[in-house]
A = this chain, B = another copy of it.
Amino acid sequence: MMHKFEEKTIRSEKIFEGRVVRLQIDEVELPNGKTAKREIIKHPGAVAILAITPDDKIILVDQYRKPMDRALVEIPAGKLEPGEKPDVTAIRELEEETGYSCEKLELICSFYTSPGFADELIHLYLAKGLQKVENPKSADEDEFVELLEVTLEEALQLIQEKKIYDAKTLYAIQYLQLKEALNKSE
């Protein structure tokens, strides 16, 4: 069904096609008949994994993020390969980034990260029943990460210190806080 504010594409111009993103400019017809230009980033989508170890720690990765020129501590994440189902990506990325396999994988939720200018959709999974893989597939050769295993309290401290500073990780940590609070109030 058409949305009342739908913006019809008049033309779409591809500006750049990269390894990760595509940039295009769409000229659109607005609901009032006028036209406008929209700068749009197309992204393959990604998964993120809230992985909980048998001793109830959260697995985090410390990595350098070039767009901000700083390191961030995040939950493990990675892009979808073409045609790959998100749960397959999640299992692959968990093994590549952390060396763990998991017995139980459950979708928490999915969300667009920057709907104003990008179509990136992240699927957030909860992984439990973790087991160390003997010869784990290794990560992309241009990816350098350090693993951390932290308690919920330690994760909250990393948020205070602004080392954890991205939407998916903040959402995942808050998800655990909510779960804990709901358990207590039962």
Greatest chain B CB density within 10 A among A6, A31, A34 is at: A6
A72 within 8 A of B: yes
Q: B residues within 8 A CB of A3?
A: 64, 70-71
Partner of A109, one of B77, B170, B175: B170
Copies in the complex: 2
Cβ B40 vs Cβ A66 within 8 A: yes
Which residues between 25 and 62 of chain A lie within 8 Å of chain B, taking CB atoms? 25-26, 28, 30-32, 34, 36-43, 46, 62
A135 within 8 A of B: no
Cβ A181 vs Cβ B185 within 8 A: yes
Give chain B nearest CB distance to A14 CB in angstroms.
Answer: 11
Q: B residues within 8 A CB of A41?
A: 21, 41, 67, 117-118
- Add 12 more A-B contacts to A113-B114, A170-B171 (CB < 8 A): A6-B64, A7-B64, A18-B25, A19-B39, A28-B66, A40-B66, A41-B67, A41-B117, A65-B112, A68-B112, A111-B166, A181-B185
